[in-house]
Structure 1
């Protein structure tokens, strides 16, 4: 294959690489089509975690940093790491936002923090809550009230009680005056299906905390035996911790896609502050670390050359193939195909909307106007969070069948496909004790190139990172990757298969 090829990038969300095991559904048994492609076209493992995607060393990857690195062709320091560095350097302490919050808060008003108690660092981290509480105390707030949001999705299911203990201990050591207010599951905090009633319920709970049932750790432990803590209903821990409209409240989510509804529900009743840019309803004066669009990257470089990549994804992953892939830009003028989420959630239907996703890919590849596309197939990640091997096996089989259909259409219409993932998940569904794991992993992810004419890549690198994908896509589309991305392409040239 030479010259410019119409090219699609397929992101198998949550498809990491690991040795065969009972809790690994990213294997030849469940996904024979994918592994046959590896055999025929070759496969390069890519780093998708830790400092390779701008996270802490050894930290599991996630969809935000994964798609950001895929699209930009370079490693971008994650907001989690940037905020931690700002705390350690003193930059966060010096932010003018603290004075704004003091000026806006009623005299003797308390400082409230609402944040995800997680150790995964995908949407939030317990350390960020403690850091914010400590700095609030140093900024003149005599009382800090922390409202913990239990994870059970990004963090290991059932880890909520232990993580809450960790938060309490850290607060006791560093912010002795801090109190614990409303304890609630992330189902109300992190919904992105458009069900704004969930966020309104959460805000109502904060404003009427004293009327809530009393929190009991043993009750939470019992709840977690049968259900995920993400669904734990609102309870109050310490007395006299309700939020009043005149008091400051900081939402410590460092990603925009999950906390929008909560922040906007708060903005309708009080004056929230945020760490990063989450909603236009929060003015810049109350945002500690405003999100700024990035320059460069694959999509911007292609746009300058008159090439657009159509974006396809279910709603749950649509911000990733647009906002994050574009370097914090909602659109660069490309065509966007958003597919409604599965009613009832992915665990009720492991196939999700994969058939509609395949149809969208087919429409793109049969159109003479299209040059390229990016599609996210979310099943392995979304169902993978359940830690249910049986459900995930069904999801893997659905993804593999979808891949076979997309590949068949590509061969018929002369398209090249690059197949990869953004992070691991479904390759480790069980922990070392055989319990459901359901969290992201630090494992590498695969990358292969499938061509309609049977050519095989002459790989320039035996391994790489997600940042190598953008320059490789540029090369496949006939664009010199030099000057577009920091990382090199994974391929030298194409050669025919024997």
Structure 2
């Protein structure tokens, strides 16, 4: 290759409408403005069918985004896989489902735990409803739902709609001798759904709520949500934990020997609670008198680490990733981010594979994230990431370097516009420093994103402008910076999966036949 390549992923930075709710546009970003005005660029589809999701109404996310960026191909993702498995009946024919149902019919309860929404990023309420109906059809008498409130991949205060939908189904299934009910819940950013081991106390709080039935009690999930909203003013993702009670006692705890299904299909925020249920040697917090349950995830969230051991839907086999192609060619690689997105530039980038393809050719580095609300520290670790990137560029040890700046996504999810604007300005300064290093040390720099978020911080509902905390459906930029070569991007419609073929083409390597086409 003529020059080594740096790929900068600005997480959650799409092309918005340029209005007052577009933090990318509102922010002072002279570097990004200059790049768009002076460099070859296009915009990539980063949602829906372009990243393997069922429809173009499905927003993209960091997991499917990095899969597409790092694999150069489009394949069925979690939501689509699960939907197909339920529709075909393959899920119910699996040995895991049969085992859990048989256990529940033998005097134990069946519990469903997961995110209650149709956001289709971590879960889908329709998958839960389908499994509830099947459990009832197969004769399971006691079934309990432990619901995590979304407000992040769906409108910020939409939880009551999903609770009402679920309660209607449970009422229908409460035929003679059956007890189908919501047992516990709480906001997804308060309990249970931590990721990358950033906040184990959050997972412990979920354990105390779902398993032990400890916490503030309410007569219903609806009452809990309405009470907490009135008391705290929090949106759904931040609502405290609650336990649903009858006659002063929890509707259902998760007892030793029960059957438990985690119905989230996305891996990052499912792994820690899976470990708590699944591992005999678990030591992150005291599980009390817990001795074990029959536990299964919707998918296996990490195939190499076997998290969890049992799962309902077989995952896709992802081969021919960019890392495999580069390792085969003897290319030295460097991957960097802070904790919040480190798994994305490694595990998800490599096709949902833990570890490295070649220990001799790859270096992965993680900058520990601060455990602090992102709106309070919107710069996150952008300074540290930039310093490490520049130092590794100067070393000339690597021919391909990639990094992720999480700011646009993680701060974007808070809904605090002022913080998101500042976050974007921090990213812009970081990109400037990388471009300066590229000029000094001789690199091509590619700038892109995995999905939108910071570009759409407001939305109109029922004629009223409200804060938006979910990802956008907007395309994301793809920019080529190279002071020594005038690259030409071919006319066409492209998605994230076209990035890897473009990188390989720049390096003069041959792309696998299963990949999408190069943009140059």
Q: Decide whether the 8 Å contact of 2:113 with 2:262 is kept in 1.
A: yes
CA displacement, residues 364-421 of structure 1 (integer Å, 9 cap, x when unaligned):
2111221111111110000000112111111111111111111111111110011111
For the 8 Å contact 2:53–2:79, the answer to whether it is kept is yes
For 2:396 and 2:433, the matched residues in 1 are separated by 19
Work out the CA distance in 1 between the residues paired with 2:26 and 2:239: 37
Q: 1:478 to 1:470 in 2, by over 3 A?
A: same
Task: Describe the SS at the equivalent of 2:486.
Answer: strand
Alpha-carbon separation, structure 2, partners of 1:423 and 1:82: 21
> Aligned with 2:270: secondary structure?
helix
Structure 1 residues 219 and 364, CA gap change in structure 2 (3 angstroms): same
Report whether the alignment pairs 1:79 with 2:102: no
CA pair 281-413 structure 1, distance change in 2 beyond 3 A: closer
**Contact 2:105–2:140 (Cα < 8 Å) also in 1:** no
CA distance in 2, matches of 1:199, 1:228: 20
Q: Does 1:341 align with 2:369?
A: yes
2:433 maps to 1:405: yes
Distance in structure 1 (CA, Å) of the matches to 2:385 and 2:308: 37
| Among candidates 321, 339, 343, match of residue 315 of structure 1 | 339
- The 5-angstrom pairing of residues 215-230 of structure 1 reads 215=220, 217-221=222-226, 223-224=228-229, 226-230=233-237
Deviation at 1:28, TM superposition (A): 7.0
Alignment of 1:391-470 (within 5 A): 391-432=419-460, 433-453=464-484, 455-470=485-500
Off by >6 Å, runs of 4+ in structure 1? none
* Counterpart Cα distance in 1 of 2:63 and 2:238: 23
The answer to whether the Cα contact below 8 Å between 1:49 and 1:55 also exists between their aligned partners in 2 is yes
Cα-Cα RMSD? 2.1
Return the TM-score normalized by structure 1.
0.92
Partner of 1:495: none
Gaps of 5+ in 2: 281-289
The 1-side partners of 2:308 and 2:375 are apart by 37
2:187 aligned residue: 185
CA 1:424–1:79 in structure 2 vs 1: closer, same or farther (change >3 Å)? same
Count residues in correspondence. Answer: 486
Are the aligned partners of 2:40 and 2:479 in contact in 1 as well (CA < 8 Å)?
yes
1:99 Cα deviation from its structure 2 partner? 2.1
- Partner in structure 2 of residue 496 of structure 1: none
Q: Which residue of 2 aligns with 1:202?
A: 206
**5 Å matches for 1:132-211?**
132-173=131-172, 177=178, 178-186=180-188, 187-192=190-195, 193-209=197-213
Cα distance, 1:36 vs. partner?
Answer: 1.1
Contact 1:98 1:139 in 2 (8 A): no
Q: Is the 8 A contact 1:98 1:136 kept in 2?
A: no
**Can you list the C-alpha shifts for 1:317-345, whole angstroms capped at 9, x where unaligned?**
11111111101112223200101112313
Corresponding residue SS for 1:301:
helix
Counterpart in the other structure of 1:276:
299
Which residue of structure 1 lines up, in the alignment, with residue 98 of structure 2? Answer: 99
**Rounded Cα–Cα distance in structure 2 between residues aligned with 1:421 and 1:328:** 19
Contact kept in structure 2, 1:137 and 1:143, CA below 8 Å:
no
Moved more, 272-281 or 5-14: 272-281
Which consecutive unaligned segments of at least 5 residues does structure 1 have? 492-498
Contact 2:501–2:518 (Cα < 8 Å) also in 1: yes
Bigger drift between 426-435 and 150-159 goes to 150-159
Q: Which moved more, 1:373-382 or 1:227-236?
A: 227-236
Aligned residue in 2 for 1:266: 277
> Quick check: 2:374–2:414 contact (8 Å CA) kept in 1?
no
1:16 aligns with: 14
Q: Give the Å deviation of 1:166.
A: 2.6
CA deviation vs aligned residue, 1:31-75 (integer Å, no higher than 9, x gap)? 221121011113211111111111121211001110001111111
